[in-house]
Structure 1
Amino acid sequence: MQVKHVRLFLFECKDPSHEAFRLGVAAAILLSLAHVFANLLGGCSVCTHEEIQKAPPSRQCSLACLFLTWVTLAIGLTLLVAGTMSNNKSRASCGLTHHHYLSLGGTLCFVHAGFSVGYLVTSTAALGD
């Protein structure tokens, strides 16, 4: 599907892409679901600073991965929502360029997946300690 797109330096005018909107919504939903499942399977727990300091290295690594999943979720979801909203049918407008938001958000989905797998592996290893 072709989308009419005019760009001048940092400003752009474009017609929204309904396909990009649908894919952006799907990506945001899947990222959220993946985060919920990773936290449920990994046994999300809250620890105090003292408990973290006394925890074995595998548990500390697990908590670091958990923290990084939350950071990538926040940034990735923000980028996906911003990119998706720019492709909403009712928002054919001109403004600052933000056409890379969807691709950056999608890339962060894969980064989130890596940290989630790391969290699940290290939390499983921490159970053995």
Structure 2
Amino acid sequence: MERGVGIFLCLLLVTMDISAGILGIEAEIAQNKVKHLRLWIFECKDPSHKAFMLGLAAAVLLALAHVIVNLVGGFNCLCSQQEADKASPNRQLSMACLILTWVVLAVGLSMLVIGTSSNNKSNGSCGFTHHHFLSTGGILCFVHALFSVVYYVSATAS
């Protein structure tokens, strides 16, 4: 029974992260469909409500997946270098993946939020070009899925 629950959780996490990644990439596509004028490194564009909604959904799914993986993975802590040296390889792998999931979350969520907030204005905006924030955040959702599954498997195995 416990193995079935573990497989279900892994599939749930992967599904959430992949959905967030696809939504981020779709938001980038929707953002690129709006009218814009570009002059060297400056760009004026109208916001896209569809890109805003897709980016917001992607950010929420990524954050929710991260909360779930941290809750079900347990709260492992290697507080000192001595503990890290004495820990089993599974535990070291789980801690490395935990740290990587936090790094990927920070960068990916930041990219999604920046891309989403650029589409949250009531009128057009002009400034430096901000390309590919939403799609890069979407791609990082896929990376988050990978590290989350490895973290969960190694944390429950140790």
What is the CA-CA distance between 1:90 and the residue it aligns to? 2.2
**TM, length-normalised to structure 2:** 0.76
Q: Deviations over 1:65-88 (max 9, x none)?
A: 000000000000100000000111
Identity among equivalent pairs (%): 64
Higher helix fraction: Structure 1 or Structure 2?
A: 2
What is the CA-CA distance between 1:53 and the residue it aligns to? 1.6
CA distance in 1, matches of 2:154, 2:39: 48
**TM, length-normalised to structure 1:** 0.92
1:32 aligns with 2:59: no
What is the CA-CA distance between 1:91 and the residue it aligns to? 5.1
Aligned pair count reads 126
CA distance in 1, matches of 2:121, 2:127: 15
Name which of structure 1's ranges 107-116 and 49-58 shifts more when overlaid on structure 2: 49-58
Root mean square deviation of aligned Cα: 1.3
CA distance in 2, matches of 1:58, 1:35: 20
Residue 43 of structure 1 aligns with which residue?
74
CA distance in 1, matches of 2:46, 2:60: 24
Contact 2:77/2:95, CA 8 A, preserved across alignment: no
What is the CA-CA distance between 1:117 and the residue it aligns to? 0.5
User: Structure 2 unaligned runs (5+)?
Assistant: 1-29
Q: Name the SS of the counterpart of 1:19 in structure 2.
A: helix
Off by >4 Å, runs of 4+ in structure 1: none
